[in-house]
Homo-oligomer: A and B are copies of this chain.
Amino acid sequence: MIRNNDAGQIDFGTQYDQYKTMVESSLLSFLGQTDEPETAILYEAARYSLMAGGKRIRPVLMLATATMLGLPSDVVMPYCCAIEMIHTYSLIHDDLPAMDNDDLRRGKPTCHIAYGEATAILAGDFLLNRAYEIILDSVRVENPHSIDAARLISQAAGGNGMIGGQIMDMVFENQAITRDMLQRMHQKKTGSLIVACVMLPLLFCQTEQQLQQAFRQYGKAIGLAFQIRDDILDVTASANQLGKTPEKDERDGKTTFVSLLGREEAEHQLAATNTHARQALQVIHQEYDCTFLMEMTDFLLRRSS
Residues of A within 8 A of B (CB): 32, 34-36, 38-39, 41-43, 46, 89-90, 93, 96-99, 112, 116-119, 121-122, 124-126, 128-130, 132-133, 135-137, 139, 141, 144, 147, 150-151, 154-155, 157-160, 163-164, 166-168, 170-172, 181, 184-185, 188
Contact = CB atoms under 8 A, between A and B. Distances in A.
Contact of A163 (B42, B116, B139, B166): B42
Contacts of A32: 159-160
A34 B163 CA distance: 11
6 contacts: A38-B172, A98-B116, A99-B118, A118-B170, A119-B170, A141-B141
> What copy number does this chain have within its complex?
2
Contacts of A132: 132, 135, 154
Given A38-B172, A144-B141, A122 B181 contact: no
Contacts of A155: 133
Contact of A136 (B38, B119, B130, B147): B147
A253 to B, nearest CB: 13
Nearest to A90: B125
Given A41-B167, A137-B151, 13 more contacts: A34-B160, A35-B164, A36-B168, A39-B159, A39-B160, A39-B168, A89-B125, A119-B167, A122-B167, A126-B158, A132-B132, A132-B154, A133-B158
